[in-house]
Amino acid sequence: MLRFRLLRPEAKRGIVRRLALAWFLSLSLCLLSVGWPVAESWLSLSLPWRAEVLPLVLAPAMLLAILWTLWFGIALGGMLALLSALFAAWMMHFSLPFILLAGATHLLALLILYLGYRAVPMRPDLSSGKNLLFFLMMVTVSATFASLDVLVGIYARHAGYAELLNLWLGRWLGLLANFVLLVPLLWRYGRRIEHALDTLSWLTRRRVRLTYSLWTTALLLFALLLYVFLAVRLHGAYVEQAFFHFDRIGWPTVALSALQVLQVIHIVLSVLVVFIAYFFYQILQHWTGTLKRTASQLRLLNQKLAELALTDELTGLYNRRHFMAMAKRELANAERHGMPCSLLLIDIDHFKWVNDHYGHLAGDQVLRILGRLLPVLLRPSDLAARYGGEELVVLLRHTPLDEAQEVAERIRQAIAVQTYPDLPASLRVTVSLGVAESRVAEPDLDWLIERTDRALYRAKNGGRNRIECDPGA
């Protein structure tokens, strides 16, 4: 009932209105967190590192943008992060190109996060270790590329490269701290929120597609190359600046400083490479599994098509075309080995009367039940098929005429006492049978069928519910 109400047009309009109100409230909080000095002081922390202090800044705007991106898509979450980043850059008096570039870094980070969760079938509910590991991997990569706005800011202000490294490292750790704060929330309430959003499929529209995997791969490679380029430029500029002032700080200090910068870059780059490799592994595992399932489904469909091409859909017996091909091979093989074969033609008595009085569905049920009964009365090596309409045909391998007559009698008696569940209990169906044995000198299947058909004609004219044999004289 709840799902039905959520799908009603007025319910959709109400949900959209509430969603718009929640988004504007989130935007207000984001702008307040980046524009109010008191909020900035509350969210700023300091972390000792290498006899210096790293400015660790929490970013509620990015935190809210991640939640909106994970649950409602890149349009709402990306717009939230973009407007917050543009406002923060404007508050810091950046020029217009650097303002746009700072917003682009946040949008790139969220786009990678959004596409990553649509490239593989993962859910951000952290209900399993696999989901948790994937979430940590995605947010680490996103934090790395979202922190590139610090590079933009320092270049815009022409600050020193030592300050650049400290600010960038602090920004990266601050974003990671933001994402870590999401872990308890998603672990505790993620599954409930996911179940609630499942009822709003018209709003979220989550699908795993190959195009998302390709776009995510391209963005990750581009972002990784961008990070390597900036890191190399940063290290070169840092070392150049240190060598320029080596007369004051000394050669050992220059070498140690360059090595420490290189270590930081190497650690972050290693984390990126490991997580991106894990992401590629998840993509490969997902699409390999998808291909295996698709191949398995295709095999089942091919088997089903092969069965439909060989069998009669109603009775489950072989169809006439397949029976004729198999029977010709069996007769040729019997001729080579000098073994007899016998053919039975079975005609349901008064079948038109059953259709007229009980309906064609009743006639179909009679054929269906007889199609299941006939193989039980035969050997696995015998061939049974629907010859046409209400006629069935059986080829008995290596069976002379007298034994074939006994099989025919067993079939006639079994059908005479057969009941039909959905039809009146008084209904009894009988059959007439014609039997003929193949001749070694005349192994032609058409001639054998014609002689068997003459025997069947005599059985029907003789009163039905009986057997007539063609001795082949």
What's the rounded Cα separation, in Å, for the pair 52 and 261? 14
Catalytic residue numbers read 390
* Cα separations in angstroms, 108 against 69, 83, 105, 278: 12, 14, 5, 20
Q: Residue 373 has what pLDDT?
A: 93
The whole-number pLDDT of residue 3 equals 37
| Phi and psi at residue 312, to the nearest 5° | -85, 130
Range among 32-41, 69-78, 162-171, 368-377 with highest mean pLDDT value: 368-377
pLDDT at 395 (0 to 100): 95
Q: Tokens in use for 72?
A: 């409602």
CA 276/CA 384 separation, integer angstroms: 60
Question: Mind listing the pLDDT tens digit for each residue in 227-276?
Answer: 777 666 666 666 666 566 555 545 555 555 556 666 666 777 777 777 77
Provide CB contacts within 8 A for 108, sequence distance 6+: 145, 146, 219, 223
Report which of residues 87 and 94 the model is more confident about: 87
Question: Looking at the chain, how many residues does it have?
Answer: 473
Across 18-32, 128-142, 373-387, 418-432, least confident range: 128-142
Percent of the chain with pLDDT over 70: 74
| Beta strands, E only, 41-92 | 44-49, 52-57
Contact 219, 118 (CB under 8 A): no
**DSSP letters of 191-258?**
HHHHHHHHTTHHHH-----HHHHHHHHHHHHHHHHHHHHHHHHHHHHHHHHHHHTHHHH-HHHHHHHH
Residue 172 tokens read as 């990266």
Tens-digit pLDDT profile for residues 340-363? 899 999 999 999 998 888 888 889
Structure tokens belonging to residue 246 = 């080596």
